[in-house]
Structure 1
């Protein structure tokens, strides 16, 4: 049977059926091309144990172990693979080319000036990515190294998960996780069943019953399992958790017995065994081909609006670089057209230079100018952005306002690449159950035989009665038979599992009646119902059913005669044992059984709203964010919840697109709704739209544009009866609309994963439906109410910080390179550099890097409390306002203006024949360049200080420390003769510069000239034309006003200062603001606010 098998390597992406043994990667399992069942063609054959394999095959078989991985690098491929990934980035590849050009041709600057910054950027990025991959290695090792027990040679042997082979019989105990996809063989129960929970896979927390076949259920010892001769034939591995087709062939006394296998026989890796002491099962899918691994999707690389703008601006700066290089090359040859400049008497050309190709010279000069001006492209921008995102993401997890004490869950960041995108959201798509609600069902009322009952003080009474009304006062008496039938049905269809340890239960005034459970027709979302067939003590067979309308339960029953039940039993058994089209045949059998039903009644349950949902939705609406609710609930329930949570207002005109059956009907209804919106009838200001899944499918089929126009004119949209893929389609529809708005999707269940992955930003709620939504999200929070602060505060902060970071990088690099370009007009375009090579190298790495990094981590344009209390401030930063083309041009022109002032201010100071030294000595070329560089470092650092609104001790330290470090380094660098340098051009240059009073005066004048217009602009706009943000900034320190009238002694101030300083050093740099974080960590919030306020007053005094 096994002679035609071929070996399959893991991770190949296809399955070979050749006679030749093919081994790639780690061999996995044996496959066969010849199966009688067409649905199992090219399927998998799994002999149950190794002894049986040797008995059935003449070949030596290699079977794959369990080992699975989700990491990206190994020790051996980290360096080449990481370098390849990094140099795929255009900026890194560009600087690599510049570095190679410097090595190949004679350029004005040393290759170190490009090589060292490139090495620094590549190294920092590699360390960050290596650390993240090490965490993935660590997580994989925990899974692959978990201890498991397998049956080997008739006894249990403990091994590691990575050593499990296909065909191994594995023992799993209660509350343990299944290490692979297993086919259940037996359990400690006589019937061979077990109960599992799949919450970690599909989010469903209810227990599920799985079955073994009768021939293997009796094998409950290691010796019996060792003697078992069986082969499992199953389909190729696929990611569908609910689909499995196979068969088990058991050989007993020389006879082969074939039994069908389905999803009820498969125990999925990642699921957990419950209410069962132990089970034995055979491994069929292991490693990366288990269903859990196949469902693992690397989240698509999402790019934020800031990153897209940054790449656009980099292209513009690349155009500026090319323009400057081409212009300089042309002007050089134009200048050298005169022989006296082309070949001066002190620099005669050689014969080889005279005969060289003019085209090659032109290209060489062009590349040399490219190298000279290449620093206009900020090489350290990418690494600084990555560090800011990585470090800044910790603040979300540290924010105690996002911590849920009841569940002990804090906010979680799964990706740090989208922090700034939280400040640009225009549409929020949210699930209802478990996201807006608690997902806790509480019984409220029911209807039995036409009479409505409701809960009053824990008692069930007819409508119109109180709990103490006499029994005879009911307006409508319901027969006891209906009440009994309904109660019995709810009891039968309720999933209850006996505990492992029998417990004594006392029944007072009750008679215990036994029913024989014959069949269970499990619930599925297509039928929306669950049925059971039971036999009464009298022998009568009853079919009981309830239809789940999600928040309502419709109860019905049907009685079978003995002959009818025989036919029902035959149909069910035939469908369940079918090897082909099993699912279709089961649906046919269910349809035959679930008909001619007698209605008994209905029940109603309430799903309570989460805390502060209404306030959160209102805050998002004030922030200019449109909220859409996408739910699978029915129309009435969804509208009721939307009204109660504030999504719909009572005064809002509700438009409906429901129960549309044809394209024409749907199109006509859309036109009617569109005309209503345009007409503004009844003077309605706001409209709300309700659409169901069926009508949505028709609307998206050929009327997308008209549907979008209707939706845009509505303040709120509710989509009910939505399938998971429809949720993703809605998000994609808005996401790809002409306006390209930023979308955010939030949900808590497995059915929300598709829309979470589709949206620009995905938020997972740590609810009660497992963790699949959390694992596939970009951010995870414990409650919906935390979404307000995540967007309005953290989103605002992150966007402003990183947008300013990008603008500032472009600005300071324009300031850096433009004087270099201007200098060429004064050196006959000879490619002479204005700055020393060490300054060129360290400008972006050391002298100006830390202040902007600290700014991008701690800056707060407005106090967090103000941002939460005034959601409208969110509108000021929407649509990428801080990084728009207008602000980009402002920062760029400001950089050019400051660069002109740096250069010509220093040039005017020196003039011609001007002596600035006490001994009459003139400044040289390197002193002039150092003067320009010194003014530039001070100006760009103080410019950032002017942009800073929130100062911490770290901000002061890096701002003034960077300037001090530059002076100390320059004194040290220019005060020593370095033997490894080819020239000593900078020796004593900086000391000479600082010894001149005129140079000091020039530095002060030039810095003031550059920054004074900025100060005037800020003062003018703040007082004459303030923005909403600037108005809010004025009131940020209002808590101090309460204490301004207090009479403070010097002793009081000293004591307060000491307490605050103690808090600073106790908490370190992890604190984002005084009044909240310190207080929360020390549980003295009010007291610390007093201290901070008093310190502010003392500073004013």
Structure 2
């Protein structure tokens, strides 16, 4: 629904109307206050709210229902504490953990809300923009807590001061950036993952009452924000001039100005209110299945009881008077509920809390791994999610960004092409005093052309780089410091600066440069910002001579489309772009034109009309931009180098050997991406690269065969040989045409690939019933999934997410996406697991990720070591948790056959209460925390073993049923060995009774379970030994406390087995029975392990050859030899609209810089890993 948000600057009377006294001292606010509250509870609400949350869990609610059933005497078959005690312990443990977490949140809230901010208190409202020029002397000042800040307060934000504000910045006085007109900035939490800013240019006529109103229709508020000022005695009009919209992190540091003044317009922050819960591996349906199984068993027991009663009555008719009081059906109904209570202990009550603890500790292991610690940034690995560790061991597809993820995202201006001539590095020095010593680019011919200042194209080329950007500048210690929205922007402006065209300063209306020693000021008429659709940015300027010029830079695809007919040097520039791409350089095209005054005036009217639209403003502005950005003159192209990160080739090599497919999704041009693929070992020289024509041909056969549902006739081995040598390279435009095509003719299948086309034929009625769009999607995913590597070039952030979504939909595999910038956020959120790289483009990817790493090379250890271990631990924990439960509790069913199906429990109540939470919890827990089948070094040496998790071999439905059958068999042995052994000695003259029989079965069950778990533990530590031995110690201790005569005299209905343990376990005969039971239970497991060891062959370390291959020089060579018919560009989509996070930058989540000098790092090693990468010569 539509809404309007209105705030007025320093108008306390206006905002007072929204505070109405409703009842006593309670105030009703239209707008929420600014206090941050991430905590859930307080002293009064903790207990009810926490219990409410905990009983939302299916298992807890089920046990509460069973405990309520126990209060009915007719069906109560267990002591009241048998279920209440374990449930109470679990609720207390979970509540204590929630309380500790909430206390930490309270502390964080108090710290944030307690921060002070300076409020300007004037006696008048801020009614004129002329007041902004002297705002520093406006009224008095008062320091207030951040939580007391309200809408309309004038707030001063000093430079370098950490703030948590959402402010409309009014003006920012600064020596380096003199802005005489007020500049506005919107700062909203980056819940969308993108960072922008808003700097409106305001007309001097707007000088009445200053306020702000936001209006929205239908769409999400944060996605479609329409900004306008409400002026007194004037209608709501939008901001006049160019808009840069900004979604910023809530925690901000003022970077490029000394101070700023603004007022809040959104008082409730949304970033800190977003949280997610634990996604449990065994969900609601699993417990429903167990519950239905208990219902079926209880029903069968009740039916059996009914038949037994009928048979008994027919044989003992003299007891008919006793049975006349109740019917058989009524008795069977009560027995049904009695068994429901008795068998409820089979439901894994402690599974939730144990799962959470295992996930948490395994996440801590990731955080504590020093091999994934990056000293230069003082950044360890960070497991931001604690519920996905086991899925790290089941990844089949990795979707990776290129820039900043595979590469360092440290851009260096390498080469350029000006007026058809290519210039590159030579060994000469600079004469310019502003030159940046970090840049390495020397060419005597270029230096001569610049210094002579005779070639107009050369002059315009460097002038464009100095003017067409969104870089902010400030002066530190006499040096200019640039802060750019992307590393590309900074590299280009730095290059222009080194060649004598220095960007000095900017205001809202002007840009000042120093060109070969002459200072020039240009009037900024319009800025046409970059976005992922336009793929370019332009500035319209009036130079000091009065000439209006348009400067444009962008992707070569869009620049060439907008050149004037017969533009000279176009062919030479294309050849230069091909050469740059073969060297894996990132390219960008530059163009300009002169604009007549009359043309500008007419265009400016349309530009103004588009800028004042409240609906579809962005589309209208883009249309106006298109009118201006045409008939351009090509100036040249730039080439920027972005080196690979350390360890990337070996990491991708290991991942591929682990049967993990790596897809690179990048905004770069095809040639650049392909050559990067060769450099990082994603592609190899013997691979056949499939491109658009071949893909169209193969997919055409797929579509034509929709009416022919024959199975593929091709043989499997041949396909496997072909698959390992195939790679797919597609572009974003190709994906749009392919997935959105309406059935136009495509090239026929080439005979060369007919085998693959036959393999891709649909294989079932379901494929025939799919709509054309689904068939196209399935065909593309089927083809891509059968290739060893896939590279998608020139894809937008939305297309990245679409590709991940299609693979998840049609392959049904676990996917991982890794990236470092805001353009990767959609992809990271779409994948099952998102990994953020803390790089040059900010923290947006990290904020939206499940795991944060400093380098791509750490991904190998995250997956092949921690992922594999976590999957192994979780799988073995689940298997033996269910095994131990069924091994002991299924005895209740066998005992029912000898107790007349009366729902009489066999075990003592305390054994049932303590079995899962004390007696057997620690051995299984140690397995879930510490188990390893091989060391971390072996995991990296033999990545082929990672496929066990991909196939889900360690825990699936088959493994679950095997564990159930194993536990059932163990329970049969425990019960019947004791039963048969007691046949000869039970009776009046025997030594065994019901209690001794129960103790014997319970002891046999416990020792058998502990022995089985001990045999399955492969990695023994001191904690593992303590965990296993503590189970026996706790059993003996608790048996002594619950079965002594003193306790029996105090509460005979609670402690019903006085001296039973002592009487039974002191008899040698019973001890021999227990020993025999344990031996019978363990012998089959030992036999199976021995058989598997014999048939499995040598150890993994001997069966596989050493996969460590010495990496050749990581030199970015030109592997891509073909000439492109269609040009593509590598203009980075990581570039953001406007000034990005240059004024306010999220810095609170960044790690602190370590004090003191860092130890010298060996750059030939992947940081903290053992994989060596040979340096390029």
TM-score, normalization by structure 2 = 0.75
1:81-92 to structure 2, matched below 5 A, reads: 81-92=49-60
Instruction: Say if 2:369 is the partner of 1:399.
Output: yes
Aligned to 2:1036: 967
Q: Is the 8 A contact 2:295 2:340 kept in 1?
A: yes
CA-CA distance at 1:850 after TM superposition: 1.0
Aligned to 2:1129: none
Aligned to 1:94: 62
For 1:531, which of 514, 531, 538 is the aligned residue? 538
CA distance in 1 between counterparts of 2:962 and 2:637 reads: 67
CA distance in 1 between counterparts of 2:19 and 2:354 reads: 62
CA distance in 1 between counterparts of 2:299 and 2:715 reads: 57
CA-CA distance at 1:831 after TM superposition: 2.6
Question: Is the helix fraction higher in 1 or 2?
Answer: 1
Instruction: Say if 2:894 is the partner of 1:828.
Output: no
Instruction: Say if 2:101 is the partner of 1:126.
Output: no
Aligned to 1:1059: none
Which secondary structure does the structure 2 equivalent of 1:456 belong to?
A: coil
Aligned to 2:460: 485
Aligned to 1:795: 867
1:169-568 to structure 2, matched below 5 A, reads: 169-176=154-161, 179-188=164-173, 189-192=178-181, 201=190, 210-211=199-200, 213=202, 229-236=209-216, 244-250=225-231, 260=239, 263-264=243-244, 270=250, 271-288=252-269, 298-299=275-276, 302=279, 304=281, 307=282, 314-339=287-312, 354-457=324-427, 480-499=455-474, 503=478, 510-519=516-525, 520-548=527-555, 551-568=586-603
Distance 1:809 1:468, change over 3 A: closer
CA distance in 2 between counterparts of 1:58 and 1:655 reads: 66
Listed as ranges, the gaps of 5+ residues in structure 2 are 22-27, 123-138, 432-440, 481-496, 501-513, 557-584, 706-711, 741-772, 1107-1160, 1162-1177
Distance 1:442 1:568, change over 3 A: same
CA-CA distance at 1:655 after TM superposition: 0.8
Q: Is the 8 A contact 1:628 1:716 kept in 2?
A: yes
CA distance in 1 between counterparts of 2:984 and 2:698 reads: 86
How big is each residue's C-alpha offset from its partner over 1:538-582, in whole Å with a ceiling of 9 and x where there is no partner? 333322222245921211111234444444554444544555554
CA distance in 2 between counterparts of 1:821 and 1:677 reads: 52
Which secondary structure does the structure 2 equivalent of 1:629 belong to?
A: strand
Instruction: Say if 2:998 is the partner of 1:929.
Output: yes
CA distance in 1 between counterparts of 2:720 and 2:1105 reads: 43
How big is each residue's C-alpha offset from its partner over 1:193-230, in whole Å with a ceiling of 9 and x where there is no partner? 56989898389999967246365999xxxxxxxxx843
Aligned to 2:671: 636
Which secondary structure does the structure 2 equivalent of 1:523 belong to?
A: coil
How big is each residue's C-alpha offset from its partner over 1:349-381, in whole Å with a ceiling of 9 and x where there is no partner? 987x63335433221111101222222222122
CA distance in 2 between counterparts of 1:851 and 1:454 reads: 66
CA distance in 1 between counterparts of 2:961 and 2:883 reads: 10
Instruction: Say if 2:79 is the partner of 1:110.
Output: yes
For 2:800, which of 727, 743, 751 is the aligned residue? 727
For 1:901, which of 947, 951, 973 is the aligned residue? 973
Aligned to 2:757: none
How big is each residue's C-alpha offset from its partner over 1:985-1027, in whole Å with a ceiling of 9 and x where there is no partner? 3111111123212222222222122112211221221123348
CA distance in 2 between counterparts of 1:822 and 1:561 reads: 97
How big is each residue's C-alpha offset from its partner over 1:163-212, in whole Å with a ceiling of 9 and x where there is no partner? 22222222222234564433332332451456989898389999967246
Identify the range of structure 1 (503-512 vs 228-237) with the bigger mean alpha-carbon deviation. 503-512
Q: Is the 8 A contact 1:735 1:743 kept in 2?
A: yes
Q: Is the 8 A contact 1:187 1:217 kept in 2?
A: no
1:692-1091 to structure 2, matched below 5 A, reads: 692-701=731-740, 702=773, 703-737=776-810, 739-913=811-985, 922-978=991-1047, 979-982=1050-1053, 985-1026=1056-1097
CA-CA distance at 1:839 after TM superposition: 0.8
Distance 1:468 1:77, change over 3 A: closer
CA distance in 2 between counterparts of 1:396 and 1:234 reads: 44
CA-CA distance at 1:808 after TM superposition: 0.8
How big is each residue's C-alpha offset from its partner over 1:1017-1062, in whole Å with a ceiling of 9 and x where there is no partner? 2122112334865967999xxxxxxxxxxxxxxxxxxxxxxxxxxx
Which secondary structure does the structure 2 equivalent of 1:601 belong to?
A: strand
Q: Is the 8 A contact 1:195 1:273 kept in 2?
A: no
CA distance in 2 between counterparts of 1:362 and 1:419 reads: 47
Which secondary structure does the structure 2 equivalent of 1:185 belong to?
A: strand
CA distance in 2 between counterparts of 1:638 and 1:948 reads: 46
How big is each residue's C-alpha offset from its partner over 1:944-989, in whole Å with a ceiling of 9 and x where there is no partner? 1100011111111121121122123223332332103326531111
Which secondary structure does the structure 2 equivalent of 1:518 belong to?
A: strand
Distance 1:190 1:162, change over 3 A: same
Which secondary structure does the structure 2 equivalent of 1:791 belong to?
A: helix
CA distance in 2 between counterparts of 1:258 and 1:467 reads: 52
CA-CA distance at 1:458 after TM superposition: 6.6
CA-CA distance at 1:786 after TM superposition: 1.0
For 1:146, which of 95, 109, 115 is the aligned residue? 115
Q: Is the 8 A contact 1:432 1:630 kept in 2?
A: yes
Q: Which fold has the larger relative contact order, with Cα–Cα distance below 8 Å and residues 6 or more apart in sequence?
A: 2
CA-CA distance at 1:93 after TM superposition: 2.3
CA distance in 1 between counterparts of 2:694 and 2:17 reads: 60
For 1:67, which of 14, 19, 35 is the aligned residue? 35
Distance 1:266 1:931, change over 3 A: closer
How big is each residue's C-alpha offset from its partner over 1:715-771, in whole Å with a ceiling of 9 and x where there is no partner? 11111222222222221211122x521111111222222222222212111222222
Q: Is the 8 A contact 1:522 1:531 kept in 2?
A: yes
Identify the range of structure 1 (679-688 vs 564-573) with the bigger mean alpha-carbon deviation. 679-688
How big is each residue's C-alpha offset from its partner over 1:785-809, in whole Å with a ceiling of 9 and x where there is no partner? 1111111111111111111111111
CA distance in 1 between counterparts of 2:1038 and 2:37 reads: 48
CA-CA distance at 1:840 after TM superposition: 1.0
How large is the RMSD of aligned CA atoms in angstroms? 4.1
Listed as ranges, the gaps of 5+ residues in structure 1 are 1-13, 15-40, 219-227, 1036-1082, 1084-1101
CA distance in 2 between counterparts of 1:928 and 1:59 reads: 74
Identify the range of structure 1 (121-130 vs 771-780) with the bigger mean alpha-carbon deviation. 121-130
Identify the range of structure 1 (319-328 vs 159-168) with the bigger mean alpha-carbon deviation. 319-328
Aligned to 1:1068: none
Q: Is the 8 A contact 2:910 2:1042 kept in 1?
A: no
Instruction: Say if 2:725 is the partner of 1:686.
Output: yes
CA distance in 2 between counterparts of 1:1006 and 1:327 reads: 28
CA-CA distance at 1:452 after TM superposition: 1.2
CA distance in 2 between counterparts of 1:350 and 1:144 reads: 78
Instruction: Say if 2:690 is the partner of 1:655.
Output: yes
CA distance in 2 between counterparts of 1:444 and 1:203 reads: 34
CA distance in 2 between counterparts of 1:551 and 1:1034 reads: 39
CA distance in 1 between counterparts of 2:148 and 2:874 reads: 47
CA distance in 1 between counterparts of 2:188 and 2:379 reads: 18
Identify the range of structure 1 (986-995 vs 146-155) with the bigger mean alpha-carbon deviation. 146-155
How big is each residue's C-alpha offset from its partner over 1:897-922, in whole Å with a ceiling of 9 and x where there is no partner? 22122112222322234599xxx752
Which secondary structure does the structure 1 equivalent of 2:646 belong to?
A: coil
Count of equivalent residues: 964
How big is each residue's C-alpha offset from its partner over 1:520-543, in whole Å with a ceiling of 9 and x where there is no partner? 333233222222233444333322
Which secondary structure does the structure 2 equivalent of 1:753 belong to?
A: helix
